Chain A
Amino acid sequence: SAVISQKPSRDICQRGTSLTIQCQVDSQVTMMFWYRQQPGQSLTLIATANQGSEATYESGFVIDKFPISRPNLTFSTLTVSNMSPEDSSIYLCSVDRVQLVDTQYFGPGTRLTVL
């Protein structure tokens, strides 16, 4: 099984600032995923991060707002830029479970509050 850690676990930020969330996996993985879980809402995929190429963003999410880096096969960052209170959410990263295709391991999440 893969062990995923995220930093920070939570943060309170001011409107207009940016926050970078780190995701570290204890094994090499091809794809890493970033999700948002807003209060009372379902997990929504923001983007898929592949090492060595640009991230692929889902409809409604843009690179300028959520830039992603993937410098190697065990690490990725998601930046939430120019934050507003609507960005208050839990942000989770995940990776594929190799034992069973199309299933995923999730990190513990980063709880972001924007004032």
Chain B
Amino acid sequence: SQKIEQNSEALNIQEGKTATLTCNYTNYSPAYLQWYRQDPGRGPVFLLLIRENEKEKRKERLKVTFDTTLKQSLFHITASQPADSATYLCALNQAGTALIFGKGTTLSVSS
């Protein structure tokens, strides 16, 4: 069955540094890979989607890469701020099919 692993449950970094989160998957060939942010007591919020034929996608301080050979996505937050502290979820799917989520990585940015 499909399996998604996010590199660690928790990541602690200092303000201003770049946070890098990893999403690895097995037994699956997704058409799309998505990243969501989830704050405590709230539902996930969509951040970025990258397609299987795309290598990199950027949005403001966020950058996502997608390597279908390594079966891995990297999610970068540059110039991190305490307000970036949250849980970040990776999700995969084929077009029109259900999203498969990872367990998430909780990022803490200290000032």
How many residues on B have C-beta within 8 angstroms of the other chain's C-beta atoms?
A: 22
A7 on interface, CB distance cutoff 8 Å: no
Neighbour of A109 across the interface among B43, B93, B103, CB < 8 A: B43
A-B contact count (CB 8 A): 52
Known: A106-B45, A109-B41. A41 touches B103 (CB 8 A): yes
In the complex formed, the residue of B with least CB distance to A107 is B43
How many residues on A have C-beta within 8 angstroms of the other chain's C-beta atoms?
A: 24
Neighbour of A43 across the interface among B42, B44, B96, CB < 8 A: B44
A101 contacts which chain B residues (CB < 8 A)? 95
Say whether B103 contacts A92, CB under 8 Å: no
A48 on interface, CB distance cutoff 8 Å: yes
Cβ distance A102 to chain B, nearest Cβ, rounded Å: 6
A17 on interface, CB distance cutoff 8 Å: no
Q: Quick one: which of A44-75 are within 8 Å of B by CB?
A: 44-45, 48, 58
Q: How far is the CA of A70 from the CA of B101 in the complex (A)?
A: 25
B102 contacts which chain A residues (CB < 8 A)? 42
In the complex formed, the residue of B with least CB distance to A44 is B101
B34 on interface, CB distance cutoff 8 Å: yes
B49 contacts which chain A residues (CB < 8 A)? 100, 102-103
Cβ distance A4 to chain B, nearest Cβ, rounded Å: 7
Q: How far is the CA of A102 from the CA of B101 in the complex (A)?
A: 13
Q: Which residues of A contact B (CB under 8 A)?
A: 4, 33, 40-45, 48, 58, 92, 94, 97, 100-109, 111
4 other A-B residue contacts (CB within 8 Å) besides A44-B101, A106-B44, A108-B42: A33-B98, A43-B89, A97-B46, A102-B93
Q: List 5 A-B contacts (CB under 8 A).
A: A42-B89, A44-B101, A102-B32, A103-B46, A108-B43
